[in-house]
Structure 1
């Protein structure tokens, strides 16, 4: 399964990045996240975080790519499935940003996971993108 969404945000890139990388505060932006615990500080390459979401078992995510003010990617592994989530900020000529979120699942059980949770996953990623937009534009 692969799902992508892009939202245009009328806010400075630094504002958007600071909200995006402050993963422990994501529950303030979206009801798709109950709680996030950063396990390794500072939040950067190789950091881990435990994410608690409604209707989904808690998962530990490890940051696999990180470029300050631009992007981070993290992944979570469970038996038979690896989930990869990328968070990219693209600066626009007008000084605002487009945020591009991508979620990919791969592995032998990925098709089954997609059948069981694909709709919910797409809904949650959409909620997260829209929540980030609303918070950044306030």
Structure 2
């Protein structure tokens, strides 16, 4: 199954990193790889929550939360014909503050072709997203 994983160390406590991470509605103002986010359900992220995400050079996608451990991790999936993308977001304590790991896997009959076409763009996006979350969490006003 094609995919990637990227981790960064953040000089902020896990609770602050988590708060930035799950505030998905503010991602467009904080993360340059996200143009628009629309929550399709009320309340905090929870298993079953759906969020529409628009990113440059990628088709609009609706992501559904499939797993969530409050304060630690959430996983969501987006499907299009022949491809399912699963993205996980994990915050862990670290001696320097926190560790954030973003991972993405692609599955389905068209996943190989889709991954070949989007792999380098996806890697840049994941790295940018981790760096952006880190920068916001390390700011006192986060």
Task: Output the CA distance in 2 between the equivalents of 1:123 and 1:84.
Answer: 17
RMSD: 0.9
Which residues of structure 1 form unaligned runs of 5+? none
Match of 2:19 in 1: 18
The answer on whether the counterparts of 2:9 and 2:94 sit within 8 Å (CA) in structure 1 is no
TM-score by length of 1: 0.96
Match of 2:3 in 1: 2
**Number of aligned pairs?**
137
Q: Secondary structure at the match of 1:122?
A: helix
Task: Output the CA distance in 1 between the equivalents of 2:39 and 2:138.
Answer: 25
Which of 48, 70, 73 is 1:68 aligned to?
Answer: 70
The answer on whether the counterparts of 2:52 and 2:63 sit within 8 Å (CA) in structure 1 is yes
Task: Output the CA distance in 1 between the equivalents of 2:69 and 2:42.
Answer: 16
Match of 2:59 in 1: 57
Which of 84, 87, 90 is 1:88 aligned to?
Answer: 90
Task: Output the CA distance in 2 between the equivalents of 1:38 and 1:83.
Answer: 18
TM-score by length of 2: 0.93
